[in-house]
């Protein structure tokens, strides 16, 4: 396949429409960031048209420099905004969300790496919007950092291994497959929340490596898996090695379900927060928790 052109199944609509404009205005008015914008997510048009977004807290500057990511990087970011948890909760209420996804940049420059502020955002949403479900897509928090997140009461704790073990060099050197597994293992031990992770394909991985990654995720109790196509945000990021067909993603979905994941979202444009509510519902039913 000619890697210079994206196949037809990866072509997405340009964001437009009244719902999209309302989302953009709301985020600007409340001084919030989304990973939809900062990471150049291909699903922005679809998600924003439905009034959903993955909110990114702790600023828009990451202290790490993964080779696949378009988020701005620096040695340190700005101090966390004291009013951000409240503004975030009001935005979730204004949008009428039943499921909110919160993520953050890495903040290695902060004493607790931002875990306390992240947890305050989850608590604010939970207290302001009764009945809302919250997914916390966290950095590689450990120990007391994870305890803070667990105590805030998220319904799902997500952390991405990103790619297979052999290709971890595309991540910042401070991250690793083993550290990510440790975060997921501790999240399961320290919280009643379901756990979730994500794999990007198209970086040169083999099917055996993908299956091994699935096995290792299941070994630490990961409940939910998202599998999507890596798309190069700009020429500065690592190149795509392969565009996988929708049929390949269907095959991987079947292999993941065989391994016991309660929820699997596998498609070329799948991202951690894409169809997140549906995935959580499926995992809850599989675990016998109800909704």
Q: What are 228-244's pLDDT values in tens digits? A: 999 998 899 999 999 99
Taking residues 78-95, what's their average pLDDT? Answer: 92
- Note the helical H segments in 41-109: 44-49, 84-95
| Best CA proximity match to 46, nearest among 270, 198, 228 | 270
For residue 25, is pLDDT > 50? yes
Beta-carbon-side half-sphere exposure of residue 97 (alpha carbons within 13 Å): 30
For residue 286, is pLDDT > 80? no
For residue 273, is pLDDT > 80? no
Q: Which CATH class is domain 15-286?
A: alpha beta
Diameter over CA atoms, the chain:
51
Separation of alpha carbons 131 and 63, rounded Å:
34
Confidence band, pLDDT 50/70/90 cuts, at residue 71: confident
Kindly report, residue by residue over 106-163, the tens digit of the pLDDT.
999 999 999 999 999 999 999 999 989 999 999 999 999 999 999 999 999 999 999 9
Q: Take residue 59 and report the two structure tokens written for it.
A: 């600023």
The pLDDT value recorded for residue 269 is: 87
CB atoms within 10 A of CB 174: 14
Are the CB atoms for 102 and 132 separated by under 8 Å? no
Kindly report, residue by residue over 54-66, the tens digit of the pLDDT.
788 999 899 999 9
The pLDDT value recorded for residue 1 is: 41
Residue ranges covered by each domain of the chain = 15-286
Q: Take residue 249 and report the two structure tokens written for it.
A: 């993603």
The pLDDT value recorded for residue 54 is: 79
pTM of the shown model: 0.87
Q: Name beta bridge partners: 264.
A: 225
The residue ranking higher by pLDDT, 169 or 11, is 169
């Amino acid at each position: 396949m000619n890697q210079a052109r994206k196949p037809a199944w990866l072509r997405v609509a340009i964001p437009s429409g009244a719902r999209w404009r309302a989302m953009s205005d709301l985020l600007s008015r409340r001084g919030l960031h989304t990973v939809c914008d900062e990471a150049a997510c291909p699903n922005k048009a679809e998600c924003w048209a439905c009034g959903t977004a993955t909110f990114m807290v702790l600023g828009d500057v990451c202290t790490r420099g993964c080779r696949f990511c378009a988020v701005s990087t620096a040695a340190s970011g700005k101090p966390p905004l004291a009013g951000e948890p409240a503004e975030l909760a009001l935005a979730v209420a204004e949008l009428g969300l039943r499921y909110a996804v919160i993520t953050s940049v890495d903040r290695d420059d902060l004493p607790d790496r931002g875990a306390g502020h992240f947890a305050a955002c989850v608590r604010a949403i939970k207290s302001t919007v009764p009945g809302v479900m919250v997914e916390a897509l966290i950095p590689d928090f450990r120990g007391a950092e994870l305890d803070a997140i667990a105590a805030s009461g998220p319904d799902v704790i997500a952390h991405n291994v990103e790619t297979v073990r052999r290709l971890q060099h595309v991540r910042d050197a401070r991250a690793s497959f083993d550290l990510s597994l440790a975060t997921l293992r501790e999240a399961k031990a320290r919280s009643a929340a379901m756990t979730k992770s994500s794999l990007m394909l198209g970086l040169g991985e083999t099917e055996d490596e993908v299956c091994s990654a699935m096995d290792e995720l299941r070994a630490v109790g990961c409940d939910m898996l998202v599998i999507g196509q890596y798309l190069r945000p700009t020429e500065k990021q690592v190149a795509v090695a392969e565009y996988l067909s929708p049929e390949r993603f269907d095959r991987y979905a079947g292999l993941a379900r065989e391994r016991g994941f309660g929820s699997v979202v596998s498609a070329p444009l799948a991202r951690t927060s894409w169809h997140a509510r549906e995935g959580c519902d499926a995992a809850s039913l599989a675990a016998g928790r109800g909704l």
